[in-house]
Amino acid sequence: PLHYYIAAAIYKLVNNKELLRFIYCLLALPIPYLFFLSLSIKFKKIDLNNLFLFSLIIFLLPSFRSAAVWPNTQITGIFFFLVSLYYFLKWEEKKKFNILNKEILLTVIFMSLTVYSRQLYAMIFFYFMIIFYKKFTKKIFFKLSFIVSLFAIPGIIFVIFFPKILKVTFEFKLYNSLL
């Protein structure tokens, strides 16, 4: 529901649907640049011009263009995900696996915002947690898991106690949730 709160806050400020769409379209413009930043960290041996051109492919995707024009959860989710991915790659680049540093905390914060914007990204968050489990000591991983659990509390409360607000039914059967 985070996307809808953000869109509602912008709408309250501008009080115009067309202006909301325009602002949201402008907010989608940094997404290829965020993608470029992540690519430049991960692929250091590839020419930056090629990486930049590759990052612009996002503009060719019809789903991206339509999501940018019609304020959509996809754009909000991608934005927060790419910021999270940027800090995750910075953390991996530093190779400081014995402490919880700024990059890890920012990764978790932005990944939480990603999941609150578009729940599909919970699977990627789970993948990040597997990587954290492999790289950190059990003590540090436990601390990080506690922080992630704190960020999850509002979502758990929202889903369990206010499912009608979300207009969804929550089921604890994994095979239904996974599909």
| Contact between 99 and 140 (Cβ < 8 Å) | yes
Cβ contact 125:119 at 8 Å: no
How much is the mean pLDDT over the chain?
A: 88
Q: Tell me: the pLDDT tens digits for 50-85? A: 999 999 999 888 888 888 888 888 999 999 999 999
Put simply, whether the predicted model's pTM sits higher than 0.95 gets the answer no
Q: Do 27 and 83 form a contact (C-beta atoms < 8 A)? A: no
